[in-house]
Amino acid sequence: MTIAVMTDAPLDTQPNAALLSEVAALPPLPGVYRYFDVDGAVLYVGKARNLKKRVTSYFQKNHGGTRIGHMVSKIARMETTVVRSEAEALLLENNLIKTLKPRYNILFRDDKSYPYLRMTGASSPKPGVGGAQAAVFPRVSYYRGAVEKKHHYFGPYPSAWAVKEGILLLQKVFHLRTCEDPVFSNRTRPCLLYQIKRCSAPCVGHISAEAYAQDVAHAEAFLKGDTEQVMSVLQKRMMAHSDRLEFEQAALLRDQIGALSNVLHQQAVDNVADKDVDILAVKVQGGRACVNLAMVRGGRHLGDRAYFPVHVEDAAGVYRGDEESEAAEDKLPSVEVQVLEAFIAQHYMDVPVVPSLITSEPVAKSLIEALSVQSGVKVSAVHQPREQRRIWLEMAQTNAGLQLGRLLAEEGSQQARTRALAQALDLPQDQLDEFRVECFDISHTAGEATQASCVVFQHHKMQNTEYRRFNIEGITPGDDYAAMRQVLTRRYAKLAESLREDGGAAEQPAGTARLPDLVLVDGGVGQVSMAREVFEQLGLDLSLIVGVEKGEGRKVGLEELVFADGREKVYLGQDSAALMLVAQIRDEAHRFAITGMRAQRARVRVGGSKIEEIPGVGPKRRAKLLQRFGGVRGVAEASVEDMASVDGISKELAESIYRALH
């Protein structure tokens, strides 16, 4: 049930009487509430065990000049949703926080793309098929994406490096294969990994399916932390082979035991009772915060990952609690507790929760209970751990402090660079936080697969979510000037039209990109002249255009700035902070352009996208074709009959594919 409360004007220091009457009518049930201002922007999202009591507390007290008082004075509309339990309220609250991004809530970047270590599921051999079958011998690999029930996944891991280290361990100890199925199915002799004792070469029959399955089972037990069980089984198998005078097999197992012992000896944290633990440490300083998440999986410390929330200052003064007693309501949690609770609530919405959490700050029991109900896993949180757990927490706290210090130093440096660039170009310095730069670059190989990039710098950092690539078509191959003309026209034509319709109003029209404070083009007088022609045709300000011209010998640090409005060239100096920022933005535009160009060129050369463009061939059928024939070239060389033999490909579809590729 959703209840909406609306008023026609913003509130001053005292709430509107109509709003108070609606608040008084709220039910004493669990739910979620949202506050909006007169412009419809969401101010805050919160949850409550008792909606009536929680929402009423905002309006019955005099909050003075505090942040919560400032927020309450802006409330013009309220919505509430009644749910069945606090667990449901927790789920809904954080889904709304991620979607609406309220100003007075602590927000964490929605980055749930964690890497996993995947063990493909084994299947029975197909009758009538000779040689080694890839499906019979599971493969260990790095994986990022949605999980499938037919495979086994271990993780998540904090970084790609941690996954690759785990795969290397499995290769050293259990000799599991890492090659892709098409490569496996077409091997006629062992690869280099077999020679260096990193693989048992199942592709050419050097190990039986039964023995390989045992290695897979031991590897999975090792990843789950059952190392003692694995060691015991391996020792029994070794002694059994020795008793049967099968000394070669016994020697292989001896080497495996030795490798496993070395791994366990090198990682002292393996010998602990905890199998899966997350260690959470928070550090708040200078209006910024860092939550450092360290992961222990299978008893092994896999590394850590730092998270930096936004809106910490605005959200710090808004009480998030929902305790029953008035005394508890008057006792606000510390900023560190608020940040940590926000992270736990938002992070574990989509990421599997582990049974044990070790936290640097005490978190609410109600949050942990709701997390347990939501996930179906009995979760416990320890605030003051001992022994090995304490060592882990101290490591996480140290890393949180280091990461936050690095962030503050980088932000201070970037702000100084932004200020230096504004000073060098005589630009206004009253709103440097909103200072926006867009930079363009052209990339191609001898005219092939020409692409233009546009990168954005704002709020003292690169805004990669606003990057854009443009495929350049209809020009003479290799004509960089024509490419620059096309990309600038496509980027700013609609904006210029909207500005003309609004009579040059300072406010940007809704739904259009904002006109930047500076337009950088990677090039000298020629590219700047082309940009000037485009801006003159569109009626835009020529003073926005600045070219970055290479210096003598194209040496870094000797670049000069070229202006479209007739100003003299400017040499900023090799050690200039402004030049460092210009070079940073220019290099990012070049990187973004060249990576897009290379991907486009690869698609053109190998026809990687041709198959999916054929009606009736989607990603799954394309994957089956590529797996069967080993690539696009193999599909192109296959006959209609061969393609029709692939599962899901009919005779008619095979003919369509053949015609499209020929």
**Angle at which helices 160-174 and 247-266 cross, to 10°:** 150
Strand partners, 284: 289
Weakly modelled stretches of the chain, pLDDT under 50 = 1-13, 265-271, 323-330, 506, 509-512, 605-609
pLDDT of residue 486: 92
Structural domains in the chain plus CATH codes? 2-100 (3.40.1440.10), 116-123+132-270 (no CATH), 277-308+349-405 (no CATH), 432-505+512-604 (3.30.420.340), 607-661 (1.10.150.20)
pLDDT of residue 146: 75
Q: pTM above 0.75?
A: no
- Using CB atoms within 10 A of its CB, is residue 505 exposed (0-12), middle (13-18) or buried (19+)? exposed
pLDDT in tens, 317-355: 675 555 444 444 446 678 899 899 889 988 887 778 888
Q: What is the DSSP letter of 85?
A: S
**Residues 33, 47: Cα–Cα separation, whole Å:** 6
pLDDT of residue 156: 80
Indicate if the alpha-carbon torsion angle 94, 100, 106, 109 is positive or negative: positive
Beta strand spans in 62-204 (E): 77-82, 116-119, 140-143, 152-154
Instruction: Please answer whether residues 520 and 549 qualify as being in contact, where contact means their C-beta atoms are separated by less than 8 angstroms.
Output: no
Instruction: Please answer whether residues 625 and 635 qualify as being in contact, where contact means their C-beta atoms are separated by less than 8 angstroms.
Output: yes
CB atoms within 10 A of CB 84: 10
What distance separates the 2 farthest-apart alpha carbons in the chain?
94
- H/E stretch holding 239: helix 227-243
pLDDT of residue 131: 53
pLDDT of residue 13: 47
pLDDT of residue 3: 47
pLDDT of residue 6: 40
pLDDT of residue 509: 42
pLDDT in tens, 208-243: 888 898 888 888 887 877 766 677 777 777 777 777
Question: Any alpha helices (H) in 458-502, and if so which ranges?
Answer: 480-501
Instruction: Please answer whether residues 306 and 355 qualify as being in contact, where contact means their C-beta atoms are separated by less than 8 angstroms.
Output: no
What SS3 state is found at 391?
Answer: helix
Interacting residues of 283 by C-beta distance below 8 A, sequence separation 6+ = 289, 290, 292, 336, 397, 400, 401, 403, 404
